[in-house]
Amino acid sequence: MDYVAISHLRWGFVYQRPQHLLSRCARDHRVFFWEEPVYGSETARLEISRPTPNICVATPHLPKGLSDSEDCELQKNLLDEMLLEHEVKDFVAWYYSPTGLGFSRHLQPALTVYDCMDELSAFRGAPPGLRKAEAELFGRAAMVLAGGRSLYESKRHHHPNTHLFPSSIDRQHFSQARVQDQEPADQAGIPHPRLGYCGVIDERIDMDLIAAIAKIRPDWHIVMVGPVVKISEDDLPRAENIHYLGGKDYKELPAYLGGWDVGLLPFALNESTRYISPTKTPEYLAAGLRVVSSAIADVVTPYGDLDMVRIATTPEQFVQEIEFNLQPEQSDPEQNEAWRTQVDSFLASNSWDITWSKMHALINAALPKGCCNRVDEPEPDAQVAGSSSSR
């Protein structure tokens, strides 16, 4: 059984939910990852890359100035050619963006899955027809996988088979931050205390908050690691104690987090953040960082409720909570060990391996009987007493 993923994100952009899940999927299945187009080519063509075994990343290159219908028709033709060339027959259609239906609704997958990781309609520059396309996708999908509790509460009213799969954690990877002994060159010269943010820098970040913290405490240094997207560089707050280090490779991140004193989740509270479930929350915690966050619903519950993350709503409260985390007693070995034990216990059941295993079981059970690679449970009267079946 192959998987054909239709995504609004690029495979090589930020390593996040799609890459974590589909890399694990690729251990047992061929994965075809269809990216958004690159415009500027004289003729329509498809660029194929293979970042890891069993993953084929397809990037359409299209001319500029196309109408929506022309764009969809060219992508449809390129998609069909790819599936024919690679002999993709039985497959699961895996959608990250409903707008992908424009060039793929003619496909006849064995199963359609909507892995909803964001409320895309609330993002800056969202296509006007996105809500209509999502309604169509709800009608086609066998299941919806929601990337956070708030998103789940919203989507479950639109699809009867919606499942909650919030942000998971590659704990072993980020726990390397706890034993880092060598600083990245571009961070090594930044004085302490360091307050760090790691992730996409876009309209969801509260720029006024960043500027206010930097002004209130000029002796603190704010480190921003990540690409700037959908906003102008001119929109970024500037000060001697704010440092923009740009995007980093996923494998480099523990080295940066290991050099911070406090992790920040400085999100604005608006429509674009109403349903987010920041992956950075468990990643910061796995790195051993104390964390201060805006009152994002999926951070408040469970992390704030369990006192693993401090919650603040104003610049003054942020400063107060950061000061609390910087107090010497917070670094007391005995107290710190107790806190980390609590964190590690909570994160132990939250891994991308576990998440993919549960998703895969749901998908396998939903595949039509007789479908390639579907494992059927024996009929009750065919089971031998005392034996168990496996998937």
Q: Give tens-digit pLDDT for 178-229.
A: 998 889 999 999 999 999 999 999 999 999 999 999 999 999 999 999 999 9
Residue 332 — very low, low, confident or very high, per pLDDT cuts 50/70/90? confident
Residues 197, 255, single domain; the answer is yes
Read off the CATH number of the domain in which 261 is found: 3.40.50.2000
**Predicted local confidence at residue 129, as pLDDT:** 84
Residues 232, 262, single domain; the answer is yes
Residues 322, 214, single domain; the answer is yes
Residues 38, 156, single domain; the answer is yes
Per-residue pLDDT at 381 exceeds 80: no
Residue 255 lies in a domain: yes
pLDDT one-digit tens code per residue, 113-132: 999 998 888 777 777 789 99
- Look up the domain containing 155 and give its range: 2-168+361-366
Q: Tell me how many domains the chain contains.
A: 2
Residue 256 lies in a domain: yes
Residues 189, 320, single domain; the answer is yes
Residue 382 lies in a domain: no
**Predicted local confidence at residue 123, as pLDDT:** 77
pLDDT one-digit tens code per residue, 26-72: 999 999 999 999 999 999 999 999 999 999 999 999 999 999 999 99
Residues 160, 251, single domain; the answer is no
Query: What share of the chain has pLDDT > 70, as a percent?
Result: 93
**Predicted local confidence at residue 101, as pLDDT:** 97
Helical segments of 156-252, H only: 171-174, 185-188, 207-216
| 109 touches 91 (CB < 8 A) | yes
Q: At 4, is the secondary structure helix, strand, or coil?
A: strand
**Predicted local confidence at residue 156, as pLDDT:** 95
The token pair that represents 187 in the structure block: 């961070």
Residues 164, 290, single domain; the answer is no
The token pair that represents 77 in the structure block: 């033709």
Looking at residues 285-314, what average pLDDT do you find?
Answer: 96
Looking at residues 317-332, what average pLDDT do you find?
Answer: 88
The DSSP letter of residue 35 is P
Alpha-carbon span 209 to 109, nearest angstrom: 46
Alpha-carbon span 166 to 145, nearest angstrom: 9
Alpha-carbon span 311 to 292, nearest angstrom: 6
Nearest-5° angle of CA 135, CA 296, CA 119?
15
- Residue 355: HSE in the Cβ half-sphere, 13 Å Cα cutoff: 25
Residue 201 lies in a domain: yes
Across the chain, what does the average pLDDT equal?
Answer: 91
Per-residue pLDDT at 377 exceeds 80: no
Residues 205, 300, single domain; the answer is yes
Looking at residues 79-87, what average pLDDT do you find?
Answer: 98
Beta-carbon contacts of 126 under 8 Å, excluding residues fewer than 6 positions away, are 120
Residues 117, 236, single domain; the answer is no
Residues 241, 300, single domain; the answer is yes
Residue 371 lies in a domain: no
Residues 107, 225, single domain; the answer is no
Residue 385 lies in a domain: no
Residue 383 lies in a domain: no
Residue 380 lies in a domain: no
pLDDT one-digit tens code per residue, 225-279: 999 998 999 999 999 999 999 999 999 999 999 999 999 999 999 888 999 999 9
Length of the chain counted residue by residue: 391
Residues 81, 214, single domain; the answer is no
